[in-house]
Amino acid sequence: MDKPTVFGSNAIDKLTEAYPEAPVLLDHQLGDHPLLSNAALAHLADAMRPVDVEYNRADLPVGIDPADVPDNGLSVIETIENIATNGSWMVFKFIEQVPAYRDFLHQTLAEIEPAVRNVTGEMMKLEGFIFLSSPDAVTPFHMDPEHNILLQLKGSKTMTVFPADDEELAPGTAHEAFHNGGHRNLQWRDDFAARGKAFELPAGKAIYVPVKAPHWVKNGPAPSLSLSITWQSEWAYREQYARAMNATLRRFGLNPAAPKRFPHQNHAKSLAWRTINKVQRTVGR
């Protein structure tokens, strides 16, 4: 592999020690990149499916129903050009659908691949997300189904991360609904706050966030640009399929135990769900 250009050896060592179950701050050297300028992002928006460019008002509470998130009343270009003053949050989803961004994403993830492969095996379903945020923007309490490294490029933000194995923060029914097409936002209670750990992210810092670890984000006093590089693992897929199996068991009136976190592999429920799903697809043909 070519000499790393984004993550140094110290960052790789820290990730190796924490991965896959502990959040950890990392240093990065991505800095300014021509694919991440405002002009490039405007071109990216034109090249992507409209459904994959999401933007809305950002003066939000920590907990909010997705249906209650207000539109910002602007176009994509207006949102990008005036992000410093328009009180918005914006994300470009699945940037790998554009070849130049796919190459950029794969090159960046290749730098951490040896540390990841030694623990959870092949890196699968490589996806990238670019975030633009106005000063003081809030990304509400939610969970993500991928292994994720968020790189802060401009401005700053604080990410508060919560334990991934706390079923009171993210109950089994919330996981199951999410994997059945539901939103990733979670219900918030003020008494949850003490369970989280706040990580400060100035430009040049990154954070690894474990699969399904609930978190919320508060932007700093300046506009923010950040990049999420994500991947799946066979372990993460097994957790997902075990959740799907639990949803099936719940429909039969049972109260199944939650899948266990890494290094437990959830083989039995995962295999059961894959078998059921294969039969359903075969019958449906």
Domains along the sequence of the chain with CATH = 9-232 (2.60.120.650), 237-283 (no CATH)
Residue-level pLDDT at 2:
56
pLDDT at position 3, please? 57
Average pLDDT over residues 129-143: 97
Residue range 243-269: mean pLDDT, rounded: 95
Q: What is the pLDDT of residue 1?
A: 47
pLDDT over 70 (residue 4): no
Mean pLDDT, residues 22-50: 94
- What pLDDT score does 285 carry? 63
Q: How far apart are CA 41 and CA 212, in angstroms?
A: 28
| Amino acid 5: pLDDT | 85
Q: Is the pLDDT of residue 52 over 80?
A: yes
- pLDDT reported for residue 279: 82
With tokens 């623990």, the residue in question is 119
Distance of CA 1 to the CA centre of its chain: 26
What's this model's pTM, rounded to 2 decimal places?
0.94
> Could you give the percent of the chain with pLDDT greater than 70?
98
Please give the average per-residue pLDDT across 213-226, as a whole number.
97
* pLDDT value of position 32: 87
Q: Give residue 248's identity as a one-letter amino acid code.
A: T
What value does the mean pLDDT take over residues 44-59?
A: 94
